[in-house]
Structure 1
Amino acid sequence: MLTSYDALTAGVLDQAGARALLVGDTSGEMVLGDPSTVPVTMEQLVPMVRAVVRGTRTALVVADLPFGTYQSGPRQALVNAVRHLKEGGAQAVKLEGGRAVIPQVSALVAAGIPVVGHLGLTPQSIHALGGHRVQGRGGAGDRLLEDALALERAGAFAVVLEAVPAELGRRVSVSLRIPTVGIGAGPDCDAQIMVWQDLAGLTTGRAPRFVKRYAHLAGTLGDAADRYAGEVAAVRYPERAHTSV
């Protein structure tokens, strides 16, 4: 599973064999330049969902419910989840939280909307959590497991586990009948997800421990742009081959 926010990238990832694409509120940081996921709105995310769906042929497209679009209750969650399916074309939605959002999950499932839960480090609650810190240590691990079981009982078909100890990732994975999707939760989860810009090395600076860069696109793109600028300045581009006749 990978994130995606546009049709072209979705097509590449889909053809590469990604089983699912998440149109995440990480778009706030990766696309819009926001400092966190908190400012993202439905108006910003729905067009990205629609673009990813248009670029995808086989992968499951899951759309995030942004902060403030489901916290007030089941009705608000249903209205916004329906938008993702009707306007965006998504096949499922994801929302953060455990037992506190069970009424929302139950309402969405009852309406026929597939739901992915999200536990551990929940970025929409980053201010309450005190930053990007590993979650679920000690007794908090027991509470996280109870949250995961509650999400399963409410009808969620999968649960993302973010930034939790590997042992807790294993414990939750063997306790649930539904799949777990890990991001910094160890190798025993049923699936793994990563932000595609992290995977491709397009992001720079210090990365979370769980990030593995499989390419270095920031350098490649920077080199291409530098060569282009140099050729334009030297009047070496466009050449005859690149000029209409």
Structure 2
Amino acid sequence: MYGLDINFLKDRPAYQPKGEQKKSGVKLPTGNLTPIYLGVGLGLCLPVFVGGGLWFIQTKTSELEQAIALLEEEGKKLDVEIASINKIKEQTNAVQAETKSLVTVFDQIRPWSAMLEDLRDRIPASVQIENVKQTPPTPPAQGEAPTNPAGGIEITGLARSFNDVNDFLLVLQQSRFLKSSESKITTASLVDAPLPPSSGANGVQIKPPQVVKYTIQSSLSDVPASELIRELEQKGTVGLVTRIRAMQKTGVITR
């Protein structure tokens, strides 16, 4: 009988011949290694590029923040200057409005001395003036300004006839101190002349002659006093003319 002698130790790696042992480890690729090098290079360069980009962005962000801070500071300074300019403009507008209002009032002055002198020069010899008074302006409609804030004038007196009253009205309509379109006779009636009572040789009372008692109304002219310099000079209103010419020189009143 035969016996089997099997040696399993020979199958173990330690008992294998050196030439027959299997090689272990990572097999290196063979052939063209350029793609591998490129991949490795890109892998190494990518963090550098990312880091450089972040540094560039942070630098630019810091510069932009500084620029924005400077612009905001300049904007605040400009806001202060603009507010100051606006305040000066408001003050200037207020002064101009006050000056304009003062000039408007001053330019509407009608010296009574000049107007009475003008009436004296125009009244016919057959007409007498008993009273001259200024009348208030006509009240305007609600919410409207007066059409003629200077008001008007009312003249009462006596005339020899109705024709003399008409002649007096026509002469007044030529005055630049009055509005010709608003000059009119409001009343005219025959009355006894205001003479002292007298009697004839036989003691008979003599009736006084009749005359026309009239009332003429007109509105004062709205022509500025600066346009009436010639008339004011002719009537001897030297002070007002001097002031108007002084304001014309300074430009407060336009010529």
TM-score bin (small chain) = under 0.3
The structure whose residues are more often helix, as a share, is 2
Taking structure 1 as the reference length, what is the TM-score of the superposition? 0.20
Taking structure 2 as the reference length, what is the TM-score of the superposition? 0.20
Larger radius of gyration: 2
